[in-house]
Structure 1
Amino acid sequence: MSEKNTDEGRAMGPKSWVTGWHWRERILHFTPSWFTICMGTGGVQLALVNFPYPYTGAVYWMRNLGYCFWIVEISTFVIFAVMLTIRYIWHPKLFMKSVLEFPTCSYFGAIPIAIDTSLVGIISYYGYRDGAVWVAFAFYWVAVATTILSTFGLLIVQIMKQKHHSMEEVAGIWLMTAVPMVITANAGANILGNLDRVSTKAALTVLIVSFMFWSLGLCLVHFILACYFWRLISYKLPQNQLLASGFLPLAPLAQGALSAQLMCIYLSNYLKKDHYAPTQSHPPPLPQSTLNSTGEAIHWLGILVSLFLLAHATFWLVQASASILYRLPLSFNIGMWSFTFPWASYATGWAILSRDLRNDGMRGWTAFNTVAVILIWLYCAVETVYYGFWKGSLFFAPGLEGWIGDEDDEESKNKKKELQKGGRTMKSNGTYDFRRPSAQDEENRSKANGPASASGHSNGSEEGGMTQRKSERGGDD
């Protein structure tokens, strides 16, 4: 490759597959933001499964289409996880660089969200099998662990280690540190009904943990939304590459509405079925009519909370859509996948609510949003395949220009130092480590010294050379 092409590759990222895949550069520039593709694909799968027409749910062919999206999501997640792991193994310095830099660090929250959407897919298609329910239960705890790590870990790093943040830098992407908690709560709410069939105790544990995640996640989300709203009033719209992140408030609000309704439905059924009531150990059990009334009240409470959160999400949908129409992005970037998952979550939240209230207007609104998010997903998928995997221009992380070239230059400098030192390299403790001579070194030294070198030591050491020089001086004398 010529020097010109090399410089262009460093400045603009990997070239197209026609001139070579350049997987080393693609992995170098692979960031956690690519997991938003998995998020969006899983969100579309959920929207298709819960499509409101007919009234009982999506038809058979729509469920099959959603199943295809689910397989695509799992496949891309595995590929991206392998690429990200290889990236940090090859370049361990980049891990701390990603954690300490904003907004790159926020995209780590996309990983537990992708796990959550895959988990819900297991219940959506194989919930009738007890084995699949236990698999989903195990993945739920994996999602809980990664959510705690990403949420609390990233928040602590942002507070203690990252540079000073100004109000002007606040954008919708900041929500990615808190959104995983709400999405994990929704994943737990989705498996409650099937998990109760195999173990009521396990279902109650998931209910408690999910409710704690739901409450904490929504509190953090509303804190950040207050700052984001003030930032919009004070500094207007963010820069173009972060403009699509204005749709991110839809994700926690809509998923929070969905999870609140599902958890209330499960708790209502539990009270009616198991005759449970607080402080019921010593007094006689409450009558069934009281438990039924309490269950209905809890169910309606979930509907009211869902309406409140979806109304809040609708405001952010209007605001984000107006922002995009006011300032159309001139080029496609991975951040534009931030459209898909929040909007799909918004459609799914209205789908479950319309099913409970049996409202035709809500069904029509849900169908419109579902079709819109599918069209957006198709647009993002085509652009990603063309500019990402075909041309390679999407594999570009700011701040890494010439990183591979710098590594190569540093490696060549080290080799030159080794040759100047006679094959010696400095250890970290300040001592020398002698490089073991190779067969090629032996051959080169034999040719240089001639037949007399045979009288020296067979390993070609300095002692053999000194003996040879002494004998030659003796002959001259």
Structure 2
Amino acid sequence: MPRPFTRLHEPWAFVRHFTPNWFAMTMGTGVVALVLAALPWDFPARLWLAETVWVLALLLFGLFTLLFVARLLLFRDTVRPMLEHPVQSMFLGAIPMGLVPIINGLPMFLGEAAVPLAHVLWWLDVVLALGVAFGVPYLMFTRQQHALERLTGVWLLPIVAPGVAAGAAGLLAPQLPVAAAQLMVIVGYVLWGLSLSLAVGLITLVLLRLALHKLPDTDFAATSWLPLGPLATGCLGLLTLGQAAPHAWQGTPLAGMAELAQQLGLVGGLALWGAGLWWLVAASLFTHHYIRRELPFNLGWWGFTFPLGVFTLATLALYRQFGVELFGLFGVLLAVKLALIWQLVLRRTLQGLWHGELFRAPCLATQACR
């Protein structure tokens, strides 16, 4: 068996070249755990398998956090190139999004005792998500170089992070005291509106770019799936926040509005699910087009997992709330597809990790950036 890191191009490259792209692995792994737990039909060891995958996501997030902090502290000369890089900086949004499946899984797998910890971590996630959602676009407008022909769905990553946190708010709020739940639901709706409004505008630009300049290069094949993410998180956020609203305002003058929010969540969720269905089909066709050619593996392949996983969660949520068997069956089919893609991308990642070839930060690719 070959020695590990045989293709590591410089000592400590796994720290110096550690990029926020790695947190997309936590996103994809964490969402697989949540999908397994949400499946409507049971099978032997389903919950055990879901918890095992969630623990893996937790360990990965902890490891990646240590490596990323080590890069920031030990190789401070790499921070500015990372922030000014027009692609690598976008993946800063993967950090708060990678934390959300960990937060959602705490009460799910560890019980009520973990709710206070999940509550604290959710507020930390909100701070991180807002910092990325405001900070990265500011760098785009002031420091980075962009062009329409180079636009891809990766632009969505920083602004989707608040929307992912909004969906988590709807799941966590019913487990909190009323006062805390009220504040969480209010902030959740603000995050949802902030994220989805910007995402819709960017998705429009992505459609324009596709019409004018066709599909991106094979290195960016997975970015075709990224517009599915904000539509799916928007759907899931409306559903979960709508379900949490009656608990948050029970016995108050706003109880009627909370019931309305629950009903609007169902209608709005269906509408956003329909928009997501279009992107699901379109992205599948784009991927079929790409696989006719050789697809070089990179960490961007994890973009195949999280959008599909969140759309699967939204589909299963619609099944639970409407009771329509078609949603349940479709959700299970999506879950099977997600599991197959996840194991493929995980295997390729482990191969690249073993050889050390994945530790090449794009912003450090030229001597001028070193």
Q: Is the pair's TM-score, using the shorter chain for normalization, greater than 0.5? A: yes
One-letter amino acid matched to 2:24: T
Question: One-letter code of the match for 1:276?
Answer: T
Cross-structure match for 2:361: 397
Question: What is aligned with 2:155?
Answer: 174
Q: Aligned pair 1:37/2:30, yes or no?
A: no
Question: 2:134 maps to which residue?
Answer: 152
Could you state the TM-score of these two structures normalised by the residue count of structure 2? 0.93
Change in CA separation of 1:122 and 1:222 when aligned onto 2, cut-off 3 Å: same
Question: Are residues 322 and 120 of structure 1, via their aligned partners in 2, closer, same or farther at CA, if it must alter by over 3 Å?
Answer: same
Distance apart, 1:318 and its partner CA: 1.1
Aligned equivalent of 1:300 = 263
Q: CA deviation at 1:259?
A: 1.6
User: More relative contact order in 1 or in 2 (CA 8 Å, sep 6+)?
Assistant: 2
Partner of 1:444: none
Question: Match of 1:311?
Answer: 274
Calculate the TM-score normalised by the size of structure 1. 0.73
Q: Deviations over 1:160-205 (max 9, x none)?
A: 1212x2111110100001110100111111101111xxx2101101
CA shift, 1:268, in A, is 3.0
- How far off its partner does 1:90 sit? 2.6
Closer/same/farther in 2, CA of residues 179 and 369 from structure 1, 3 Å limit: same
1:140 aligns with 2:122: yes
Distance 1:181 1:295, change over 3 A: closer
Among 59, 64, 67, the alignment partner of 1:75 is: 59
CA contact (8 A) 1:189 1:210 kept: yes
Matched, 1:111 2:95: yes
Per-residue displacement from partner, 1:400-444 (whole Å, max 9, x unpaired)? 35869x98xxxxxxxxxxxxxxxxxxxxxxxxxxxxxxxxxxxxx
Aligned length: 366
Structure 1 counterpart of 2:322, one-letter code = L
Deviation of 1:97 after TM superposition, in Å, equals 0.4
Query: Where does structure 2 lack aligned partners over 5 or more consecutive residues?
Result: none
- Determine the C-alpha separation between the residues in 2 that align with 1:60 and 1:215: 40
The answer to whether the 8 A contact 2:5-2:357 is kept is no
How large is the Cα RMSD of the aligned pairs?
2.2
Aligned partner of residue 89 in structure 2, secondary structure: helix
8 A contact 2:28–2:306 mirrored in 1: yes
SS of the equivalent of 1:89 reads helix
CA distance in 2, matches of 1:103, 1:226: 19
Q: Normalized per residue, which structure has more helix?
A: 2
Residue 374 (structure 1) aligned with residue 361 (structure 2)? no
Residue of structure 1 in register with 2:81 after alignment = 97
CA distance in structure 2 between the partners assigned to 1:168 and 1:49 by the alignment: 40
- Contact 2:228-2:280 at 8 Å conserved across structures: yes
TM superposition shift of 1:79: 1.2
Moved more, 295-304 or 362-371: 295-304
The equivalent of 1:228 in structure 2 is: 206
What is the CA deviation profile of residues 221-243 of structure 1, one whole-angstrom value per residue up to 9, with x for unaligned ones?
00110111111111100111111
Q: Which piece of structure 1 moves more, 32-41 or 15-24?
A: 15-24
Aligned partners of 1:235, 1:143: CA distance in 2, in Å?
36
* Percent pairwise identity: 27
State how far apart, in whole Å, the 2-side matches of 1:138 and 1:41 are.
22
Amino acid at match of 2:53: F
In 1, the alpha carbon distance for the partners of 2:33 and 2:284 equals 23
Q: Secondary structure at the match of 1:178?
A: helix
Pairing 1:359–2:324 present: yes
Q: Which has the higher Rg, Structure 1 or Structure 2?
A: 1
Q: CA deviation at 1:91?
A: 1.9
- Is the 8 Å Cα contact of residues 182 and 213 (structure 1) preserved in structure 2? yes
SS at 1:393's partner residue? coil
Task: Indicate conservation of the 8 Å contact 1:168/1:235, yes or no.
Answer: yes
Residue 200 and residue 270 in structure 1: after superposition, are their counterparts in 2 closer, same or farther (change >3 A)? closer
User: Residues 59 and 192 of structure 1: is their aligned pair in 2 closer, same or farther, counting only changes over 3 Å?
Assistant: farther
